[in-house]
Amino acid sequence: MTWGMMMNETTLTSRSELLWRDATQLIPGGVNSPVRAFRAVGGTPVFFERATGPYLFDVDGRRYVDYIGAWGPMILGHANPAVREALHRAVDGGTVFGAPTSAEVDLARLIHEIMPGLEQVRLVNSGTEATMSALRLARAHTGRDRIIKFSGCYHGHADLLLVQAGSGVATLGLPDSPGVPAGVTANTLGATFNNPDSVRQMFDQYGTSIAAVIVEPVVGNSGTIAPADGFLQFLRDITRAHGALLVFDEVMTGFRVALGGAQARYGVTPDITCLGKIVGGGVPVGAYGGAATIMQQVAPAGPMYQAGTLSGNCLATAAGIATLQALRQPGFYEHLEALGARLEAGLLKAARVAGVTVCINRVGSMLTVFFTDGPVTDWPSADRSNRTAFGQFFHDMLSRGFYLPPAQFEAWFISASHTAADIDATCEAAADAFAELKRFT
């Protein structure tokens, strides 16, 4: 007897509800990543079965305009033909060998050509692996133990980084995670994004023991927050002055806010860059890289150990190469920028007409609608957002066929497959949702 047969199916109104009942019995919290559970907005999560371009189709046959984009990697849209073809070819030849392949070299070369600061690249399997490995490398290279991270920035679920974390940790209101020993996070220092004084204070007190500063150069895990003018250069200067390394977590922003990532958009080159999401074209992947003098610490070239059975597998490299080649086409980012600006302007107009107070932050094709009067420049200012208002807005948009991140503190992502008509339809739906929200507040 299946789990579904054990439930009272007569009380269920959709396949999503039936699947949710089964999932909560079989999977912790019913999901394989916390933010999917709708805890921040209430209600039953939607289960999907296919996607194409900018559209998701749920198990009950409904279509949604998608602004999650698998949390960032689907910059070309879902089921992109070039990526699909590359994956088909890769599957025909075998999925993973546990041995070197030419595709690994080709992907590393592409990354280096697009991000010259990554003279050498190590492929891994997730963003968490990339950031965890990058900080181990920073400690190995400097011989120091402490790192600085910023409140509201999420760098994966490695023990040392679950301190003042954003993303699902902020969404669920978790202070830090049980199971993380105090000793593991004792060397993780917290600072405030866009606040140079908070960083200076750390270096004044702990300067000779700080191995690295890790930062999302555009924060995406407290919602979208841009760096203040000069802030990233300040981090570059102060780390260099104190002999520490600067680590950019570009898992989200890499190839998203510009072809060369945030480091190209803002003209600041870190010592180590962490990548994920887009670099694998929608297949699980991660990467970290930097100057050869630093990367030569990584085994087997050096003593800093890191390994992975599936690292550089045939599917991830094939999808990644096809995606990065597409991103290099002339006019690609100008098109994304225009779509982002159109959506931002339309949402602002809709909120203004309805008399709803919002602050919209956008960098390229990343955007967040904060239900606060703003400005939102760091985690404390993001945290003032009205979560209840966001939850109502989310469900109103969902009922109209628009799938937004089910949490206030996440970024929306626009793909190249979205059309001007999709954007305009989104803004029209938002106008109705804002008006409905105003009616009940």
What does the pLDDT read at residue 167?
A: 46
Question: What does 156-214 look like in DSSP terms, one character per residue?
Answer: -S-GGG-BS--HHHHHHT-SB-TT--HHHHTTEEEE-TT-HHHHHHHHHHHGGGEEEEE
Say which of 22, 249, 271, 378 is annotated catalytic.
249
Does CATH number 3.90.1150.10 belong to domain 3-78+330-439? Answer: yes
Active site (annotated) includes residue 55: no
Run of H or E residues at 45 = none
Active site (annotated) includes residue 277: yes
Please state, as a whole number, how many other Cβ atoms lie within 10 Å of the Cβ of residue 233.
13
Percent of the chain with pLDDT over 70: 91
Alpha-carbon gap, residue 393 to 404, rounded angstroms: 10
For the chain, give every residue range classified as CATH 3.90.1150.10: 3-78+330-439
For the chain, give every residue range classified as CATH 3.40.640.10: 81-327
Say which of 66, 67, 277, 333 is annotated catalytic.
277
At 356, the pLDDT band (50, 70, 90 cuts) reads very high
At 1, the pLDDT band (50, 70, 90 cuts) reads very low
What does the pLDDT read at residue 253?
A: 97
Per-residue pLDDT reduced to its tens digit, 42-96: 999 999 999 999 999 999 999 999 999 999 999 999 999 999 999 999 999 999 9
Alpha-carbon gap, residue 128 to 77, rounded angstroms: 24
- Residue 286 — φ and ψ, nearest 5°? -155, 170
Q: CATH number for 81-327: choose from 3.40.50.2020, 3.40.1350.10, 3.90.650.10, 3.40.640.10.
A: 3.40.640.10
Residue 130's SS3 state is helix
What does the pLDDT read at residue 188?
A: 86
What does the pLDDT read at residue 154?
A: 86
- Residue 120 — φ and ψ, nearest 5°? -135, 150
Cis peptide before 375 (omega within 30 of 0): yes
What average pLDDT does the structure give for the chain?
92
Active site (annotated) includes residue 159: no
- Contact call for residues 257 and 227 (beta carbons, < 8 A): no
At 34, the pLDDT band (50, 70, 90 cuts) reads confident
Say which of 55, 67, 154, 266 is annotated catalytic.
154
Question: Quick one: tokens of 30?
Answer: 């019913």
Pick the residue with more confidence: 341 or 8?
Answer: 341
